[in-house]
Amino acid sequence: AIGLKFNVAKEMNFWYAGGVSGIQMNQLKYAIPVIIIGIVISIFLSRSITILSLGDEVSTGLGQNTRIVRILGMIAVLLLTGAAVSIAGMIGFIGLVVPHITRFIVGIDYRYIIPCSAIIGAVLLLAADILGRMINPPFETPVGAVTALIGVPFFLYLARKEGTNL
């Protein structure tokens, strides 16, 4: 009701479902430095994250400071997620589905997972946006709804697969 009274229903819908159609260069110029810092930290930590995935005892035994790696990893995630959400809104399942797909394709080494996840995530988001524009022309289906159509079945598959391994 408030969205309709003040004529901000479209902007509210953007924050609920996300979208890339309204992005402007002005928004990007503020987010690009944050994104670059987050990517540099991620690439710098990629080898340490691979070692950390072996377990705390193994990584500590190899001389790694797991606390520092975790803190820097959280900082990288916060920077990259915050920049993405500030630009495109809440687009679900991209950050959850893409690393699993990437790990299946390139293996368990985070030196390859991190950059490939960025590329595969961009391709998936682009495909979801194109599909969202083609479903009901001339209207645009929110890209978050399209990614949910991809993400929900994938997570049901993962949950079923993990349940059989217990």
**What's the pTM?**
0.80
The token duo for 103 is 């790990």
The CB density around residue 29, as the number of other CB atoms within 10 Å, is: 9
- Please name which of 115, 96, 90, 107 lies closest in space to residue 39, comparing C-alpha atoms: 115
pLDDT, tens digit, 9 for 90 and up, residues 100-149: 889 999 999 999 999 999 999 999 999 988 998 898 888 878 888 888 88
Tell me, rounded to whole angstroms, the distance of Cα 107 from its chain centroid: 19
pLDDT of residue 2: 59
Give the pLDDT band (50/70/90) at residue 150.
Answer: confident
- Please name which of 90, 85, 87, 77 lies closest in space to residue 28, comparing C-alpha atoms: 87
Q: CA geometry: angle at 85 spanning 139 and 107, to 5°?
A: 100
- Contacts for 12 with CB less than 8 Å, ≥ 6 apart: 3
Sign of CA dihedral 45, 117, 38, 13: negative
Cα separation, 23 vs 113, whole angstroms: 27
pLDDT, tens digit, 9 for 90 and up, residues 43-67: 999 999 999 999 989 999 998 999 9
H/E/C letters for each residue in 1-55? CHHHHCCCHHHHHHHHHCCCCCCCHHHHHHHHHHHHHHHHHHHHHHHHHHHHCCC
